[in-house]
Structure 1
Amino acid sequence: MAGYDEYAAAVRQLSARIREGERGAAAEAERRRTLHTGVSRLGQRLAAQEQRLAQLGAAAGLPPVTDPASGTGPGPVVAPGAGPAVGVGPVGPGSVPGSDSVAGAGPVAGAGPGAGHDGVDGTGGDVDPVVVLAEAGRLVDEADRLGQQAEALAQQPALLPTWSPTARAVAVYVGCAAIGALVMLVLVVANGIGVVNGVTLGALTCAGLPLISFVAGWLILGRWGRPALASTDPPRYAPLGFVICVLLVPLAYCVTLLLFRLVR
């Protein structure tokens, strides 16, 4: 019976190993399903990012970015501190992550501490695809955050971006009127030495310089007061600007005459 007992023990040991193998296979299958799901979601996010960036670039008037190798699509993506550029293939639900790549990607660089361009870390062990996928997800999250910041900045004009449209318009028109007043002072001095006659000085002070100041402010608001992603022209407050320029330049002329009379 000793032979039967040994046979029964061997059968039990083999059965335990089979069950252990089945559990391991089930765990590995679940792990692969989890990786496939993660890669699929990551691919959808990357596609949405690419589409949104293309829309923003088109709205801002930027040329589309093309891959130098194929002539279409985005160029290779390199993780920060990854060293040489690494080409990343398409990411999608049908991609199977291996021990050294994710979703058909080339060798992954910068996926973890000490990781080399061949998908093997500095200790000689294979890089865990879960770690690579987590790092890729972190980079996609960071790209989302930076993209939202860039989009928010693109919604603001280059000129006085934190100011309200009304305050920006007032500041621009007042600045242009101040420059017109300085030009008027130069003309007053020129009139005093006989270079400019009184008729020309009066015409420029009452009509020419106010109109030029208003037009300059209107053009400045249209050029630098418009956000990069604006679909419509920004408000330029033309009546307000006209009143400011028409009042300030002649007022500066009157104040100048008064000062000259007081000095004399």
Structure 2
Amino acid sequence: MSGFDEYAALVRELSARQRGGERAVAAEAERRRGLQSDVDTLGTRLAAQGAYLDRLGAALGTPMASVPDAPPAGPAPGRTAAPGSGAGSVASPGHGPETGDGTVGGAAAAPRRPGVGAYPGGSVPTGDPAVELAAAGRLADEADRHGQETEALARRPVLLPTWSAPGRAVAVYAGCALIGSLLMLVALAGTPLPVSGMDLVAAVSCAGVPLMSFVAGQLVLARWGRPMLADGEAPAGRYVPLGFVICALVSPSLFCLYLALFRLLR
């Protein structure tokens, strides 16, 4: 092979290596652009998620605790902080930024909370940015799921959440009327009753106790019969006519039953 042929072969080899290097550089740049796009998308999603959780906490009366600002970001992956720049972390390809005490930070390190990580057990999967972004996305999915479950629970009344609104109202009014009637009967136990006519005891039994039971049922439904989170001023489902009828029937009926038993057992 002549000297020119050897020179031409070396030029072709050099050209092939240069093209290969250019392709590698282009592939790395594309990978970094993809990672940056994923980071921007995740950041937007986390910002929206934080705003949603803030609104949910405020609606439930438990505002989210303020999160301290994150420490200043270190240099971009693959770069070393310039001397005197004040940046305290160094990042290298394939490894998360060091926190200064020999530990590896990154997506697993909670801001300003040493020793606390976002991953179970505080372990970083591999330090690969793509893997950490995927792990952060899964954690965001889990946070979304828990937030939706919390909102679903907050949209159900605290009292008898699985019951329908009419069934809940019937149970509350009947319970209040029954409790009021039992307290009335306990107070009447051993008290001499008139042989005939209506006196103060009968008036209280037939009017006062039903009224107090009705008011108690109204208060219970207003306090615990409505969801903690509702669209606008949703009614508490107090069913006023139904409650009045129930309370007006239960207490006088029990009083009449007690009076009949008292007459029969005399």
2:256 to 245, 248, 254: 254
Match of 2:220 in 1: 220
Amino acid of the structure 2 residue aligned with 1:28: E
Match of 1:25 in 2: 25
**C-alpha displacement at 1:115, in angstroms?**
7.4
Q: Assess, with a 3 A threshold, how the Cα gap between structure 1 residues 33 and 204 changes in structure 2: closer, same or farther.
A: same
Normalising by structure 2, report the TM-score: 0.76
**C-alpha displacement at 1:263, in angstroms?**
4.0
Match of 2:237 in 1: 235
Amino acid of the structure 2 residue aligned with 1:108: A
**C-alpha displacement at 1:9, in angstroms?**
2.3
Q: Show structure 1 runs of 5+ residues with no match.
A: 71-86
Task: Report 1:44-123 matches (<5 A).
Answer: 44-67=44-67, 69-70=68-69, 99=93, 100=95, 107-109=106-108, 116=123
**C-alpha displacement at 1:190, in angstroms?**
3.8
**C-alpha displacement at 1:137, in angstroms?**
0.6
Amino acid of the structure 1 residue aligned with 2:216: A
Q: Assess, with a 3 A threshold, how the Cα gap between structure 1 residues 136 and 245 changes in structure 2: closer, same or farther.
A: same
Match of 2:135 in 1: 135
Q: Assess, with a 3 A threshold, how the Cα gap between structure 1 residues 114 and 184 changes in structure 2: closer, same or farther.
A: closer
**C-alpha displacement at 1:209, in angstroms?**
0.8
CA distance in 1, matches of 2:66, 2:163: 37
Deviations 1:85-116 (A, max 9, x none): xx6879xxxx96664459xxx52326889975
Task: Report 1:166-177 matches (<5 A).
Answer: 166-177=166-177
Match of 1:210 in 2: 210
Alignment size in residue pairs: 230
**C-alpha displacement at 1:200, in angstroms?**
3.4
Normalising by structure 1, report the TM-score: 0.77
The question of whether the paired residues in 1 share the 8 Å contact of 2:106 and 2:127 is answered with: no
**C-alpha displacement at 1:21, in angstroms?**
1.1
The reply to whether residue 185 of structure 1 matches residue 185 of structure 2 is yes
**C-alpha displacement at 1:251, in angstroms?**
0.5
Match of 1:154 in 2: 154
CA distance in 2, matches of 1:61, 1:211: 33
**C-alpha displacement at 1:216, in angstroms?**
0.6
The question of whether the paired residues in 2 share the 8 Å contact of 1:205 and 1:253 is answered with: yes
CA distance in 2, matches of 1:229, 1:113: 32
Q: Show structure 2 runs of 5+ residues with no match.
A: 79-92, 98-104, 109-116
Amino acid of the structure 2 residue aligned with 1:249: S
CA distance in 2, matches of 1:101, 1:153: 39
Amino acid of the structure 1 residue aligned with 2:148: Q
**C-alpha displacement at 1:3, in angstroms?**
2.9
Match of 1:245 in 2: 247
CA distance in 1, matches of 2:121, 2:167: 53
CA distance in 2, matches of 1:244, 1:113: 55
Match of 1:34 in 2: 34
Question: What is the RMSD of the two structures over their aligned residues, measured on CA atoms?
Answer: 2.9
**C-alpha displacement at 1:152, in angstroms?**
0.6
CA distance in 2, matches of 1:170, 1:89: 59
Amino acid of the structure 2 residue aligned with 1:255: L
Amino acid of the structure 2 residue aligned with 1:161: P
The question of whether the paired residues in 2 share the 8 Å contact of 1:111 and 1:131 is answered with: no
